[in-house]
Amino acid sequence: MAAVHGLIPARFLTLTAHLVIVITIFWSRESTVQACLPLEFTQEEFNNKDIELVVGLSVTLGLFAVELAGFFSGVSMFNSSQSLLSTAAHASASVSLLFFLFEQWPCHVYWWILGFCSALPALVEVFLFIAVFGLKRKAL
């Protein structure tokens, strides 16, 4: 039981770290988009990459809302499997996004990070939410 209680703060901290890095990418979006483009680019190419990055970051923030809603509602707060998955995924995302920023990785890499490190734990969170509230309503 002590392991579950140790995972709760770790999960919250990794979620928060990942959220802070995503917000930082939003703030430094112009330089991030320029790093994704070749040295000489047109305004249209810049706008396309900017829209791509804004959509990816917005989807990530939506997935954060889903995961934080499940966490704070208590649906998955004490579920050790979800806590471990979420902690590992968001810690990996934090490290990967820092490399994305500092090493100036191409913008399409962000979608891989989003898929594995944000969408996967949010999808499991949704399944847990459906299982808890769906089974609860059938029991009544």
Crossing angle, helix 2-27 and helix 80-102, to 10 degrees? 30
Among all chains, which residue has been given the structure tokens 């979420």? Answer: 86
Q: Is 41 left (phi over 0), alpha (psi -120 to 50) or beta?
A: beta
Confidence bin at 61 (pLDDT 50/70/90) = very high
Q: Is the dihedral of CA 21, 27, 29, 31 positive or negative?
A: negative
**Per-residue b/e over 18-48, b at no fewer than 16 CB within 10 Å?**
bbebbeebeeeeeebbebbbeeeeeeeeeee
Query: Is the predicted pLDDT of residue 84 greater than 90, yes or no?
Result: yes
Higher-scoring residue by pLDDT: 94, 76 = 94
* Domain boundaries defined on the chain: 2-139
pTM, two decimal places:
0.89
Per-residue pLDDT reduced to its tens digit, 10-23: 999 999 999 999 99
Q: What is the DSSP letter of 74?
A: T
Query: Is the predicted pLDDT of residue 139 greater than 90, yes or no?
Result: no
76 phi, psi to nearest 5 deg: -120, 10
